[in-house]
Each structure stands twice: as C-alpha cells, then as structure tokens.
Structure 1
C-alpha cells in the first residue's frame, strides 16, 4: 500500500491569533524576557535626550546621560507608580514625576523625595528607577530586555550573534544618516498576523503593485538564522528603484530594519491586545538624499504599509470568526513564516511548561519586593486568586 502524501506544514492555528490567554502568555514568555530592538542611537544623540516606549503593555524609556551613556528604565516612579516620562521624546536635565514631585537623575538615581527626609528608615539610594538591560550593537541599534534578573536568562548572542556583521550591511556607513521622523499606524489584528505577512513576499505580485514594479520577485528569498531573517531580492534598477541598494532584516520577535542607500527605517510591531496592534516606524535619512527622493520614497513606503494593513485587517476578521483553523505554507516562498512559527511555538510551550511545573505564572519583568509586609500581602492576593479559580485554566 502506498504511503499517504505528506501534507505541507501549516500556519499557526487561528486560536493563536485571537485568544487572550495566548497573548498573555506571549507577554510573559517573549516580551518580558527576550531582547527587543527598540531604536538607533542616532535618535538620542544629545545629553539628556530621551524617548519613551511601550511594548505589550510594558512601559519604559531610554535616556542619554551626561557622560554620553544610554540608560533604560521602567517608566514608573518608585513612589506610587505614576509614569516618570510623559512626552514621547525630549531633552531633560532631571526626570521629575508629576504626581508627588519625586525626581531622578539621568542615571536613574533618586535625587529628591519631598518630605521623606524625616521618615525613619528611608534611604534615597534604595529607590532609584528600575533599570533595564540595554545593549548597543556594532551598527548603533539599541536593544533592551525587560528581564529583571541581574543576568538576563536569554543571551543576546543566542538569537542575534552576527546580525550586525552581515556582509551586505558594510555598504551602509551609519555616520551618513540622521534621525528624521517617527510615525505610527494602528491596526485591528494580532501582531503575528503582520509578522507573518512581513516574512514572505508570496503576496507581493498580487497585493503590492509598487513593489512588483521595481523588484524581480522571482529572485526573492530569505535566509533564516536563529532570531533574525535576512530578506533578499534583485532590483529592476534605476530609475524605477529610487532607493538603490535595499537590505531588509526581520528581528524576532517584532521588529525589522530596512537599510537603503537613501534612508533606513525601523519598524516595530507593538502588540496592544490579542486583536490590536500599533505599527511604529522610525525613519533615518541619508545626508545625500535629495528632498524629492526622500519625499517619493517616504510616500512609496507608506503606501506599502497601508496595503499590508488592508491585508492583515481582513485576514484577522476570519481568524476571529471561526471556520478557518489553519492553512498550508509554501516550503520555499513562505519559509520565513515557518521559521517565525517554530520560534513562537517553542518559546510559548517551554514557558508554559515551566509555569505548569511551578503552578503559577512566571513574569520575568516583575521585581521582587524587599519589604516583608509587601511579600505577605502579595502571597495573600495570590492565594485569593487561586481559590477564586483565576490563576490557571490549563
């Protein structure tokens, strides 16, 4: 009897794109623990320059201190949890909370806590901002991990070793670029819906006429390496391709960098819930890029992003509705999607199994309280939640 045909591997089930419990597990297993590409150091060039960010509900900011170092902190005052940084970006000499007036230096040390100088046992050195691990790679891109451990569980090199030494990147001299602007766009779909879309160009001939006009789509290919995916395609050449040399790279879990001769941009796909996302873009302009070229390229880029939003919005409607469970993936033209799927599945299953063993959620971003009363109160809350059946539904 002949062996049955092996069916192509499928995309993740629809439930993984629409279930609140999966999203909450992703927050704990991925966004609270893994290294995230955030920005480029060119955006924060001056002393005191800062920018705030949110990823999967976690709020933090990055600031350059007076010694020229970049520091990252949770955006939360150590007093009563009000955000320390309110503006999206700016320049400051001191970071002051607008609730009770606590203020911090650019290195995160508590500088002032009004009227606490007479409180017994209070030591300002105990209440600096919560620091976040930060890394600047060889190309100047800035990464953070929200893992509160002194040594992060996930090593940057495990996922991204050699991402900043790709041979094709040597064609781009970073000192010739400058930060130009940021923009964002909201979407009513799961963050992974857009990441799947980004990591294949199987849809480009149908959905992106502009890309099809300037790109030899038959040459399109991806190279998968641990936590990053290099995208390659041959250009049809000038003048149709005003961007010149183009080198896109996806960076797990939710970002990409597209380098070109005229400009580069960072895309961050920021989950808001299981069915909502914010696409956030930073655009950096090359010194030799003319105003007209930059305007044309920016318009082209935003048109492509709008087309992808249309695709993802309508696909998500059926992912939410029921009926569709999964579909086959092309082993070559969608191998980037397959690689992303394998990472998501492995990390969620591993973290979920650890939580099963311990019988509780593991949230790496959480700081351990050093106050005995608080520890007891936390344990009481967990006990109440457990008895109410709110802790787990494995």
Structure 2
C-alpha cells in the first residue's frame, strides 16, 4: 500500500493560505484555454475573462469582410501596461498566460498541437455561454472530471452513449486525453488542460468549461461555452444533454466539498488505473506548490542573511528595517 499515491489532504481544498501559494505557483505560471476562434467572431466586442484574480480582455479586430481572421485576435491584460502572452494554435484554439513567468507554450503543452491539429475548430459556431458560482474548491471539480468511476451512477444518460467500462485517461505534459469509447474515435474528443480548463467534442457539438478559483478556497466560478453547427432545435437538444451531465457533476462537487470542510473526508488512496488522471494533476499541483514554497523560502532566507550581514558590518549600531 505504501507505493500507492495518496490524495491531497483536505486542507489543500480549504486553506486560504494554500490557495494564495497555488495562485503564485500554478495559475500565474500556466497557460489557460479561452476557446476556439469562433468564440470571438463578433467585431469590436471585448470579452473579459477573470482567472485567479487576473482579468484578460480578448477582442477580434480583423476587418468584417475577412470573416474570422485568426490574425485579428488581440489579447491584453486589463491592467494597463501589463504584457500578456497568448497562443492561437493552427487548429484555431486560443490560450493565454497570466504572467511572463509562464514557460513557452510548446514547452508547457508539449505534443498538444500534434493532437489538436487533427481537428478544425473553426467550423463549429459559438451558440451560448453561461457562468455561475459553486460552493466547492476548483480541485474538487477537476477531481471529478479526471476520473469516471462516478459516471455509471452519477451520469446514467452519458454512460448510455459512452460506457465507463472502456473509459481511460492518457496523461501528457500538462494535459490529459480521455478516451470514452475506442470504437467512437470520431465522436468523443475529451481534453483536460492543466490546471482548470477542458474541451469536449461529443454528441454532435463542442463544449468547454473553466473552473475559476476565488480567494475563498470553498468557492469557484464555472464558465461554460457551447458550440454547435445544427439548427436551433438540434442545438437545444444537445444543450439539454450536456447540461444534465454538468448539473450532476455540480451537485456531486458541492456535497464533496461540504464533507471536506466538515472533516468527514481527510485523504485517501488513489486507484492507480481508474484514477490515474486525478493522480496526474494532483501530483502536478503538489510539485509546483512545493517548488514555489522552496523558492520563496530561499529568497526570504537570502534577504534575511543579507540584512544580518549589513547589520554586523555596521557594528549593530543601527536598526535595519526589512520591507
């Protein structure tokens, strides 16, 4: 049993101090998926995205006559003068980094474009977006997405089309691919982008969501975008189907967070096969947080040592103020 991976402790889902460390370690140093280029088809419309208390503005400035011109998508931070890095993949997917500390896109998502370039994401028009808060930590929702052990009893409608018997997760560098049914490779692309974004192509349409953290670790904001090229009636049928799955997950997450905060659940052992997706992302969070903590501690120790040296050189006759 010692060789099996344990989950993150409940404190990682409830502690404000740990979230602030996550913010610096994970969110400010990652790339975040905003949507396919069709999300930004309206000229002059500024779309705002708030991720980990950083607001990003996206606008399509290309001439109307040129259709959806990928070169016309501009991305900036709301704070004036702050540079921001963005990436529009050849297949039409827009990603953004919240700070210059994020690595290069190709390094962060190594091998991702090889997979996404097989799909033309410029074809499905944006149909609807919704947003609302949930009483759960961002990791509580990602826990549920990254495994399908709960699918059979929580998502009976989804399981009818994509039996959990075949469900598997393949983890790559900062992203995961979910295979719902090997016999339906043309209808079922499920991608998780570390840390909080997903892209799901199934049932004739496409949906993505972001689980956006707040300063209160027990609260997240869910943002969903829906894409479909069918008639209004066909879209509403698709929307009803995918919303049912989302509502089922939402209710499960709120109950799970409640148990975490009450101390009903502390930590446990992850199934090495059925929960390898959870293990992958949680270990990534843990690795980055530990690294950030070590960096900040080293910087603090170095500053303290420098102050001490100056004090000793000065004979201790002056009080040294540390800002």
Q: TM-score range by the shorter chain?
A: 0.7 to 0.9
After TM superposition, what 4+ stretches of structure 1 lie above 6 angstroms from structure 2? Answer: none
Classify the secondary structure of the residue corresponding to 2:125.
strand
Q: What is residue 288 of structure 2 aligned with on the other side?
A: 347
Given the alignment of the two structures, is residue 61 of structure 1 paired with residue 57 of structure 2, yes or no? Answer: yes
Q: Tell me by how many angstroms 1:56 deviates.
A: 1.4
Once the two structures are superposed, the pairs formed by residues 318-329 of structure 1 within 5 Å of their partners are 318-329=259-270
Going from structure 1 to structure 2, the CA distance change for 1:235 and 1:183 (only over 3 Å counts) comes to: farther
Q: What is residue 75 of structure 1 aligned with on the other side?
A: 78
Extract unaligned runs of 5+ from structure 1.
Answer: 79-128, 238-243, 361-379, 384-394
TM-score, normalised on structure 1? 0.70
Q: Tell me by how many angstroms 1:159 deviates.
A: 2.5
Given the alignment of the two structures, is residue 165 of structure 1 paired with residue 114 of structure 2, yes or no? Answer: yes
- Return the alpha-carbon distance in structure 2 between the equivalents of residues 173 and 73 of structure 1: 25
Given the alignment of the two structures, is residue 245 of structure 1 paired with residue 168 of structure 2, yes or no? Answer: no
Aligned with 1:285 (options 228, 231, 234) = 228
Q: What is residue 233 of structure 1 aligned with on the other side?
A: 180
Aligned with 1:155 (options 104, 108, 114) = 104
Going from structure 1 to structure 2, the CA distance change for 1:164 and 1:260 (only over 3 Å counts) comes to: farther
Classify the secondary structure of the residue corresponding to 1:213.
helix
Q: Deviations over 1:247-303 (max 9, x none)?
A: 1100001000012362111111111131100110111112xx243332122111111
Q: Tell me by how many angstroms 1:66 deviates.
A: 4.8
Q: Tell me by how many angstroms 1:207 deviates.
A: 1.1
- Return the alpha-carbon distance in structure 1 between the equivalents of residues 242 and 132 of structure 2: 13
Contact 2:213/2:221, CA 8 A, preserved across alignment: yes
- Return the alpha-carbon distance in structure 1 between the equivalents of residues 187 and 169 of structure 2: 16
Going from structure 1 to structure 2, the CA distance change for 1:17 and 1:165 (only over 3 Å counts) comes to: same
Task: Write 1 or 2 for the structure with the bigger share of helix.
Answer: 2
TM-score, normalised on structure 2? 0.85
Q: Tell me by how many angstroms 1:158 deviates.
A: 2.0
- Return the alpha-carbon distance in structure 2 between the equivalents of residues 175 and 198 of structure 1: 25
Q: Deviations over 1:85-140 (max 9, x none)?
A: xxxxxxxxxxxxxxxxxxxxxxxxxxxxxxxxxxxxxxxxxxxx423111101221
Extract unaligned runs of 5+ from structure 2.
Answer: 64-70, 302-320
Given the alignment of the two structures, is residue 180 of structure 1 paired with residue 127 of structure 2, yes or no? Answer: yes
Once the two structures are superposed, the pairs formed by residues 197-208 of structure 1 within 5 Å of their partners are 197-208=144-155
Contact 1:72/1:131, CA 8 A, preserved across alignment: no
Q: What is residue 317 of structure 2 aligned with on the other side?
A: none
